[in-house]
Amino acid sequence: MFGRTRGSAAGRGRTTSFAAAALAAVLALAGCGGDGGSGDSSEVEVFSWWTGPGEAEGLTALQALFEKQNPGTKFVNAAIAGGSGTQAKAVLASRLKNRKPPDSFQGHAGAELLDYIKAGQIEPLNDFYDENGLRDVYPKQLIDQITYKGNIYSVPVNIHRSNVLWYNPGILEEAGVDEPPATIDAFIDALKAVDATGKVPLSLGAQWTADHLLENVLLGSLGTDGYNALWQPGANWGTPAVKAALDDFAEIMKYTTAEAASTDWQGAAKAVVDGRAAFNIMGDWAYGYFVNPAPNGLAKKLGTDFDYAPAPGTDGTYMWLSDSFTLPENAPHRGGALAWLKTVSSKEGQDAFNPKKGSIPARTDGDKSLYKDYLEYAITEWNKPDIKLAGSFWHGVTANNKWHTDIDTAVGLFLQHKDPAKLQEALVTAAQNSGQ
């Protein structure tokens, strides 16, 4: 069921509940992803936000494989630029409202999809999973995450890790920082040391990268169980522990780039490998951007131009998210959409996409020899029996769209007033009004 995370014994059994009165009627009408709707496979319009370096190359690789497998089907790339889908989701909402859906659209697996389900805008995919044997090759906890009341609503193509600290080894050496900071307190000390050198301590991009930083600081300060508890029904965001975490966030924000609002995540990540900034906390899609060849990638070398570690305070926890694709209700080319879903769910498709994207396959049978350096580390971490899981709120796992928007609004106001007490008040209200 939506909202499940795997952490401690208690965390592994936790399930976030959602009000579902409106959903029963939707499911009754929608069925379970049978043969209704157009079977037209003459083309497929695929809607995503994969336009940046790494992600664009990954999508191109998927497109090439799809066209090889489906030579009679025209592929229409309807990608909308904007990191984390901030622009694309607004365009998609308008299209769905006006009953002009694409044939398939990207969405983060988890609570982010709930609004589409309640509105009857995407079909269940139970039959698709059974016909393609996906229940045997996707991890059970991932299938649980994309299931609601026995129905599966999306096809994951990858697993990303949100809690990664990217850093420039040379700048750390110059600042006298011996190793990447393992705790929030050590991180703040390291930021101060870098600041004294005149280099940028921590690079940020567009506003959503501050939200991304916030979830990492919350996890690093509260711990896995404390972080996961924030997304339970009736969770209290007004505790002293949350206050301390937000105080840490406010302190860390003092060492970020002043021009943060003017660039997206790529510019902030590039500042690290270019030697202008010491640290950047970003998901592991940054890895694909760093190492992919020019002109779209930066062709940088791990260990020389950049290195990585778990975000401070989060070692042993995988803050995860998953990009997935859906089957919209009344897709104009339903046959094409199902063919696309078959490609993205296949072993061949995921192994073509993920090494370029900087992610690991959602399937458990990916070719591990294709995943080098950081990606080899990521697969190993993901499959550790004692790894704790925490769902990314910013990337759709734990917070529905309303809650997500309210948190973003609170962070946007904080960037102006800089007051962690006001931020906490706004986050308390956001949780109370989330409807989860």
Residues of the chain with pLDDT under 70: 1-38, 83-84, 258-262
- The rounded distance, in Å, linking the Cα atoms of 410 and 313 is 24
pLDDT at position 127, please?
A: 97
- The rounded distance, in Å, linking the Cα atoms of 358 and 412 is 28
166, 308 in Cβ contact below 8 A?
yes
pLDDT at position 144, please?
A: 79
- The rounded distance, in Å, linking the Cα atoms of 274 and 268 is 10
Tell which residue, 361, 320, 340, has the closest CA to residue 125: 340
CA 225 to chain centre: 20
**What are the C-alpha distances in Å from 83 to residues 89, 138, 209, 283?**
11, 27, 9, 11
Give the count of beta carbons closer than 10 Å to the beta carbon of residue 9: 8
The domain limits of the chain are 24-159+324-386, 161-319+394-432
pLDDT tens readout for residues 331-349? 999 999 999 999 999 999 9
- Per the rule left: phi > 0, alpha: psi between -120 and 50, beta: everything else, 402 is alpha
For the record, the structure tokens of 411 come out as 């962070």
pLDDT at position 36, please?
A: 40
201: Cβ contacts below 8 Å, ≥ 6 apart: 190, 191, 192, 194, 195, 255, 256, 277, 278, 279
Give the count of beta carbons closer than 10 Å to the beta carbon of residue 148: 21
pLDDT at position 26, please?
A: 29
pLDDT tens readout for residues 311-335? 999 999 999 999 999 999 999 999 9
Could you name the CATH architecture of 161-319+394-432?
3-Layer(aba) Sandwich (3.40)
| Domain 24-159+324-386, CATH class in plain words | alpha beta
**Same fold yes or no, 24-159+324-386 and 161-319+394-432:** yes
